[in-house]
Structure 1
Amino acid sequence: MPIVSLSRLAELDANLWDALHGSEQPLLRHAFLGALEDSGSVGSGSGWRPAHRLWLDDHGRPLAALPAYLKQHSYGEYVFDHGWADACLRAGIAYYPKLLGAVPFSPVGGPRLLGDAQAAAQLLDELTGSLEQQGLSGLHINFTDPAADALLRGRDGWLERLGCQFHWRNPGYRDFQDFLDTLSSRKRKQIRKEREQVAGQGIDFAWRRGDELNEAEWDFVYQCYANTYRVRGQAPYLNRAFFSLLAERMPEALRLVLARQNGRAVAMAFSLVGGGSLYGRYWGCLAEFDRLHFETCFYQGMDYAIAHGLQRFDAGAQGEHKLIRGFEPVLTRSWHYLCHPGLRTAVADFLQQERAGVRDYAERARALLPYRQGAQ
């Protein structure tokens, strides 16, 4: 069989993997995915067991790939299928393990079916044909790009699911004031007031690349990140070693903004940059400050994108509160192949209704954007 399953991405040369995805999306790089594995953030005991699939040519060279994981739960995916799993439990249908094509803990769109399109199609068909034989309930591919959508749409057995996120676009603003000038007067005043409230607490900001932080500063970054989970009574997905590995392997793609009060760091936001986009990923603070979250996670990133000519700022999965700050609704897609025919039929009916609801939600959200008519 031309399919090979990798239990560790380190089994494949980094250049071969990065050539397959052929994009500037930093979260798909061998360095990022490999750091998740080598740090132990995914792997044994995490419920995320690496099982990357490769389609090889006659000489053993990879033509296509799917970054994939065997899942024993549905946590950390940001495409929520817990209801499907609960229904299976009540019906006596095994829902786990399942195979997931995704970037762990990262609701960021990008290539998922990597390499040659024809080979990727063959890889898909071979995988779906062997799922039951492998004891898997299905294959799920989350946060796909248009190329994967085109390949999956209309393919036998595959079900499309829509989601909605909020992204900020930079059409070429000269500075933050140029952006503010596109907003209605009330929203413009609100954002100014929020920024003034943060500055009034004696807080300033410093941007750093990944190679500009020492280990003590990375300790602070991790402490902030982990605190966002612990205040909710949850364990963080990532461990401390992951951040050091990223700083070692891909420092040029890492961007940190540190919020400082009287010279002492009190909060941070961690982002990655690539392909004209800024990807806001993690945030945390060690004390409560009024409006600090909005400034650190949104306005600082918008300032950075403008200053560096980045066209898009993806600040994370959640948040209708992003709308009034100029982040526009964007539809996301995931695709699901379920082996059990009864489950597939029930989910297909559900998704048909959900898709209509998501589209309606996105349209209503767009009507709430703060831009003046004709300003964009």
Structure 2
Amino acid sequence: MMQIGLHPSIHAFKPDEWDALNPSRYPGLLHGFLSSLEDSKSVGEGTGWQPLYASMKRGNDLIGAIVCYLKSDSYGEYVFDWAWADAYHRNGINYYPKCITAVPFTPATGPRILLKDGEDYLKITEQLIKALKNELAERVSSWHILFPDERSFQLLSSEGSWLERSGVQFHWFNDGFETFDEHLATFNSKRRKEVRRERRRVSDQGIVFERLSGYELNDQAIDTLFRCYQTTYRLRGNLGYLNRTFFEYAIDRIPDAIRVAFAIHQGKRIAMSFCLRDTKNFYGRYWGALYDVDCLHFETCFHQWIEDAIEQGIERFDPGAQGEHKIARGFRPVKTRSLHWVKHSEFELAIRKFLISESNHVDRYFEICDGHTPFKALNEQISL
């Protein structure tokens, strides 16, 4: 007999039973990642992110789950709905709390429903969505599923009553490269020279790099990592969503899902880029530098991870939201999607009309970006 449960904490589940639903080890849904967020108080009371986990069990066997958060604001989501919230407010209606299914502070496409292999995926999905909507109907204005991968999108949207929204990011794809030079060989001559010049500007200043897994990060490395992380956010007038305790817990609990690139000058680490990974993908998350160095951001956040991805046979590198400057460095525009259930019928209609118009603009933007990639024509021959 199947039983559906709703839980306020990831600690309702054993790590092994939870992660068995995530064989690709998508980092944002690993038990160790979610528990690090909760235990460091990066999510929970007072943060604007209140966890809610929906689960389905057959007896004692966990066969499906959806991670949700009840939100009291729209910070840290990267699918922007501030205008929707403002419209609700102007009409005297509460937009918050709302519910989202997403990885906190992480605009990375991935699974948004976890399912045990061999089960009736559609049936489990329908029952979990029904249970959540019944729970949420009197508590929230809306439910938003952000950055679902193709499988999750198809399963979740099949239930109906969802509005679809699209966006654009820039990802790098490994076309079977064995070296960084092979990657550059796909560029036209001008862009290829620019990337090489950019990398030389960093190396000519005596800066070298080390790339470490979570297993190799000691307290000193974590100190530098966190100082760099906070430095970036200080420029924006805050200290960031995450605290040092989160990084300590995550590095201890999911070391295989973490990689960090450090820039080193005269024996001292002066910058870092923090990356999550699963079996096929890199997800660039955070960067920071203690000193301002020309082109250091591009080298630390892009070229180092492309080089590392090639060495490790990683298929795709998702460096995060926005950034048209990524195009010239070998990243291609890709469409992202989200699903939205809006309870208020009149606002649902207004948002539906808005999304049709927005989708046309997104399509045009995608076409423009796709026309500015640095890749050479198929018939161009070059020698390295």
Instruction: Give the TM-score category using the shorter length.
Output: over 0.9
Greater shift in the superposed pair: 113-122 or 220-229: 113-122
- Could you give the per-residue CA deviations for residues 271-309 of structure 1, whole angstroms, max 9, x where no partner exists? 122122111111100110000000000000111011111
Taking the aligned partners of 1:72 and 1:93, their CA distance within structure 2 comes to 14
1:196 aligned residue: 200
1:119 aligned residue: 124
Task: Give the counterpart letter for 1:12 in structure 2.
Answer: F
Equivalent of residue 168 in structure 1, options 165, 168, 172: 172
Question: What's the CA shift for 1:125?
Answer: 2.2
Equivalent of residue 156 in structure 1, options 141, 155, 160: 160
Question: What's the CA shift for 1:313?
Answer: 0.9
Equivalent of residue 264 in structure 1, options 254, 268, 276: 268
> For 1:171-320, what aligned pairs fall within 5 Å after superposition?
171-320=175-324
Taking the aligned partners of 1:319 and 1:252, their CA distance within structure 2 comes to 28
Question: What's the CA shift for 1:60?
Answer: 5.3
- Could you give the per-residue CA deviations for residues 152-209 of structure 1, whole angstroms, max 9, x where no partner exists? 3354321001011100011111211111111111101111111111111111101111
1:62 aligned residue: 62
Question: What's the CA shift for 1:117?
Answer: 3.2
Question: What's the CA shift for 1:340?
Answer: 0.5
2:137 aligned residue: 132
> For 1:97-112, what aligned pairs fall within 5 Å after superposition?
97-112=97-112
Greater shift in the superposed pair: 242-251 or 12-21: 12-21
- Could you give the per-residue CA deviations for residues 298-346 of structure 1, whole angstroms, max 9, x where no partner exists? 0001110111111111111121000011100111111000101111111
1:114–1:120 CA contact under 8 A, matched in 2: no
Structure 1 gaps of 5+ residues are none
Taking the aligned partners of 1:150 and 1:167, their CA distance within structure 2 comes to 22
Task: Give the counterpart letter for 2:360 in structure 1.
Answer: A
1:269–1:281 CA contact under 8 A, matched in 2: yes
TM-score (norm 1): 0.96
> Does 1:34 find its partner at 2:35?
yes
TM-score (norm 2): 0.94
Structure 2 gaps of 5+ residues are 116-120
Task: Give the counterpart letter for 1:5 in structure 2.
Answer: L
Task: Give the counterpart letter for 2:222 in structure 1.
Answer: W
Question: What's the CA shift for 1:263?
Answer: 0.9
After superposition, the CA RMSD in angstroms is 1.6
1:198–1:292 CA contact under 8 A, matched in 2: yes
Task: Give the counterpart letter for 1:40 in structure 2.
Answer: K
Secondary structure of 1:51's aligned partner: strand
1:7 aligned residue: 8
Taking the aligned partners of 1:93 and 1:340, their CA distance within structure 2 comes to 10
Task: Give the counterpart letter for 2:75 in structure 1.
Answer: Y
Taking the aligned partners of 2:339 and 2:379, their CA distance within structure 1 comes to 36
Task: Give the counterpart letter for 1:209 in structure 2.
Answer: S
Taking the aligned partners of 2:71 and 2:338, their CA distance within structure 1 comes to 16
Taking the aligned partners of 1:336 and 1:164, their CA distance within structure 2 comes to 17
Taking the aligned partners of 2:379 and 2:51, their CA distance within structure 1 comes to 47
2:125–2:156 CA contact under 8 A, matched in 1: no
2:83 aligned residue: 83
Question: What's the CA shift for 1:63?
Answer: 2.8
Task: Give the counterpart letter for 1:38 in structure 2.
Answer: D
Question: What's the CA shift for 1:214?
Answer: 1.3
Taking the aligned partners of 2:125 and 2:64, their CA distance within structure 1 comes to 5
1:55–1:120 CA contact under 8 A, matched in 2: no
Secondary structure of 1:121's aligned partner: helix
1:71–1:96 CA contact under 8 A, matched in 2: yes
Taking the aligned partners of 1:24 and 1:132, their CA distance within structure 2 comes to 32
Greater shift in the superposed pair: 187-196 or 154-163: 154-163
- Could you give the per-residue CA deviations for residues 28-77 of structure 1, whole angstroms, max 9, x where no partner exists? 111111111111111111010111111333x3543321111110000000
2:19–2:25 CA contact under 8 A, matched in 1: no
Greater shift in the superposed pair: 114-123 or 313-322: 114-123
- Could you give the per-residue CA deviations for residues 195-236 of structure 1, whole angstroms, max 9, x where no partner exists? 111111111101111121211210110110111111111231
Question: What's the CA shift for 1:129?
Answer: 3.7
Identity rate, percent: 44
CA spacing shift, 1:174–1:23, aligned 2, 3 Å: closer
Greater shift in the superposed pair: 321-330 or 178-187: 178-187
